[in-house]
Structure 1
Amino acid sequence: MTPWRLCLMILLCLLCMQIRAEGLLVIKPRETELTRTFIATLQEQHPELEVLSRQIDQLPDLDSTPLAVTMGVEALQWRLTQASRTPTIATYVTLDQLEPGASYPDHVQILLASARPERQLLLAQLLIPRLQTVGLLHSSGQRWQLPLWRQAARQQGLGLVASEVHQQRELLRGLSRVLDSSEVLIGIDDPDIYNATTIKSLLLTSYNRNRVLIGPSAPFIAAGSLSTTYSSPRDMAMSVHQLFQQPWQNGALNYPQHYSVLSNPQVARSLGLPPPDDAQLLRLIRMRESQTP
C-alpha cells in the first residue's frame, strides 16, 4: 500500500468517527415520500447528529460535512463530478445503472438498491420445493450481470439456464427456451426485459407453463410476480447506518444488510402453492445467510 493511500484510509476513518459529533448531508434528486422516510430513519438512527438534506439543484457544499449520502443515480453522477474527497455512500443505485467494470473513487461507496442474487435464489428455494434449476433472461446490455448469478447459483447448489434477448420480438422465444429447461424464472435489473410493456406477456407465458417469476423488485409484485426480497426506505437507511459502523471500504459495492420480503398470495393460490408467509420467509433467509461463511 502506497503512503498516500494509507494516509487517505486513515483520514477516511477519522472523518467517519467525527460524524457522531458533527453532521451528515443527504443529497437527493427531489423531495418525495421515500426521501422523507429515508432521512427520518437516518435521523432516528443518529439522534446526536444534525442530518441535513439538499437537492442537487441547490448545489450542496460537500466540504461542509464530514460524510455525505446520495440518493439515486443522478445524485451519484453529480457526486462523481465533484472534486471534494468527502466520504460518500451512494444509495438507490441498481446494477443496470452501473457501467460494467467501472471503478469508483476511494471516497465513494455504493449501496445497491438491487436484490442480492444469493438472497433471491434462497427465496426461490424456500418457495419452490426441491428446486434444481432456475431460468434467467437478459439483454445484451446486461450480459455482464450473468457471472454474478452463475456464481450465486453455484453457491446455492442450483443449475442456471440463461437466454440473451437481442431484440424485443425475440423476447417470448427466449422465454420459452428458458422455461423449457428450468423450474422458475428469476427476474433481474434489466429494463429492456422487465418493463411495463413486457411484464404482462412474460407473466402470462410463464404462468401458462406453471412457472413463477421471482423478482426483480417490489413494484413487480402487484403486476403478478410471486415474491421478491427488497429494501424499504427504512431498510436502506438502517443499512447505511450499519456501513457507518464498519471500517471504510474504498470504492466498494455493497448490498443492503437490512431487507424485507414481499409476496403475492393471489398468484401463489392460482398456481396451487401455499400462500407465502413473508415474515417466516424473511426469518429463514436471515438464518441461512447467518450460517454462510
Structure 2
Amino acid sequence: MILLPLILLGLASQPLSAGETIPQTVYFVGSGNDALDQHIKNLLVEHLDEQISLEAIGVDQVAAVTDSVVITIGSSAFSRVRQANPDAPIVSLLTERDFLDDYAIRAPGQISGVFYDVPLIRQALTGKAILPQATDIALLATPESVELYQPLIDQLPAYGMSARVFLVDDRDSLIPTLVRALGYGDFLLAAPDSAIYNPRTIKHILLTAYRRNKIVIGPTQAYVQAGSLASSYAPFSEIVQLASEFVETYQKTGKLPLPSYPRQYKVAINKQVGRSLNIPLPDREEIARTVNQYLDTNGETSDE
C-alpha cells in the first residue's frame, strides 16, 4: 500500500526533457502541530499560482522527490527532509536565520526560506517607538550567544542608541544579572535565545522587570501575551506570500532565491502591561509605521 504513492511521487518528479516545464507540484512536510500546519497549508493554497498543486507527504516519501520544491515547517521538519533527501530543493518556514543561513550558503539555489526571527534592530526600534527618549538598551546573553548581539550593537548608534550585554554564566546568576541590566537600560531587549528566554524563566524575568518599572521588548509575539510590552512579528500571510514567490522563481528558473526576512511586519502590544507601568502606548499601526520610518531614514529597509 505504501509503494503506490511512492511510485506516483517518483513519476511526478521525473527529470524533464528540453522544452518541458518544471513539474507543477509542490510538496509539504509539516511540523506535527496539526492546527498550525493546516493553517499554513490553507494560506499556501491561497497564495501559490493556481497551476501549482500542494501535496502533503511524509518524510518516508521525501526520498522520491526530484526537481520539485518541498516546503517544510520548523527546523525539525527541515532537518528530517534534508537527511532523507539531500538533493531536494527546500523552502523552510518558521526557522530562524542562525539555523538556516549555513545550509543556504552550502547549497545555494537549493535551500531557501523565510526567516521567522525578527531582526534585532527592528525589535530595538519597536522599543524606541514606544519610548522615544530611550538611549540605552540592556541585553542578556550567555557566553555562547553573546555574538548574536554584535551586529545590533554596531547598528544602534545610527539611531541615537547604544546597548550593553550582561552575561549570564549559569541559571543561578540569571536574576541577579537581570537586576543589574535593568538598572542600566531604558528597556530590556529580549532576543530569541532559548537558554535565557524560555517557559521556565520568562515569568521570573517579566516579574522582575515589572517590579522595577522597566519594560521588556520581544522576543516574540507569544511573549507579549505572557507579559512583554511589545514585539514586532511577521504575520503568517506575509511569510507565505514570500515563500510562494520563491516557489514560483524555482518553477521558472530551477533555482531558489537566497532566504530572506519578510518584507512587512506588524506589532503586538500588551495594553494591560502598558497601563500598569503608566506608559502611554501608540496604536500598533503607528508603532509599526514609526519603526519603518526609522529604518527608511537609515537605509535599512532590508532588515539585514
Structure-1-length-normalised TM-score? 0.82
**Matches of residues 184-263 of structure 1 in structure 2 within 5 Å?**
184-244=187-247, 252-263=258-269
Structure-2 residue corresponding to 1:118 = 121
Residues of 1 paired with 2:118 and 2:71: CA distance? 20
For residues 220 and 157 of structure 1, the distance between their equivalents in structure 2, rounded to whole angstroms, comes to 27
Q: What is the deviation of 1:195?
A: 1.4
- The question of 1:133 aligning with 2:136 is answered yes
Mapped contact 1:37–1:234 kept (Cα < 8 A)? no
Moved more, 229-238 or 96-105: 96-105
Distance 2:228 2:162 in 1: 21
> How far has the Cα of 1:114 moved from its partner?
0.7
* 1:1-16 → structure 2 map (5 Å cutoff): none
Against the structure 1 CA distance between its residues 204 and 218, is the aligned structure 2 distance closer, same or farther, given a 3 Å change threshold? same
User: Against the structure 1 CA distance between its residues 187 and 167, is the aligned structure 2 distance closer, same or farther, given a 3 Å change threshold?
Assistant: same
Distance 1:245 1:124, change over 3 A: farther
Give unmatched runs, 5+ long, in structure 1: 1-16
Aligned length: 274
Cα distance in 2 between the residues matched to 1:32 and 1:151? 41
Q: 1:134: how far off?
A: 0.7
Partner of 2:47: 45
The answer to which of 263-272 and 190-199 deviates more is 190-199
Deviation at 1:289, TM superposition (A): 3.7
Residue aligning to 2:78: 76
- In structure 2, how many angstroms separate the alpha carbons of the residues matched to 1:145 and 1:62? 38
Structure 2: distance between partners of 1:62 and 1:260: 39
* Structure 1 CA distance for aligned equivalents of residues 280 and 128 of structure 2: 14
Alpha-carbon offset, residue 18 of structure 1: 5.2
Which of 25, 28, 31 is the matching residue for 1:29?
31
Percent identical among aligned pairs is 22
Give me the whole-angstrom Cα distance separating, in 2, the residues matched to 1:101 and 1:40: 27
Mapped contact 1:25–1:52 kept (Cα < 8 A): yes
Secondary structure of 1:124 counterpart = helix
Partner of 1:12: none
Alpha-carbon distance in structure 1 between the residues aligned to 2:70 and 2:158: 35
User: What is the match of residue 61 of structure 2?
Assistant: 59
Return the alpha-carbon distance in structure 2 between the equivalents of residues 67 and 156 of structure 1: 40
- The CA distance in 2 between the partners of 1:31 and 1:176, in whole Å, is 37
What is the SS of the residue equivalent to 1:162? Answer: strand
Q: What secondary structure sits across from 1:81 in the alignment?
A: helix
Q: Which residue of 2 aligns with 1:92?
A: 94
The answer to whether the 8 Å contact 2:267/2:287 transfers is yes
Q: Is the 8 A contact 1:96 1:142 kept in 2?
A: no
Q: Corresponding residue for 1:274?
A: 280
Root-mean-square deviation over aligned CA pairs: 2.8
Superposed structure 1 runs of 4+ greater than 6 Å apart: 98-102
Structure number with greater Rg is: 2
CA contact (8 A) 1:39 1:237 kept: no
Shift of 1:128: 0.7
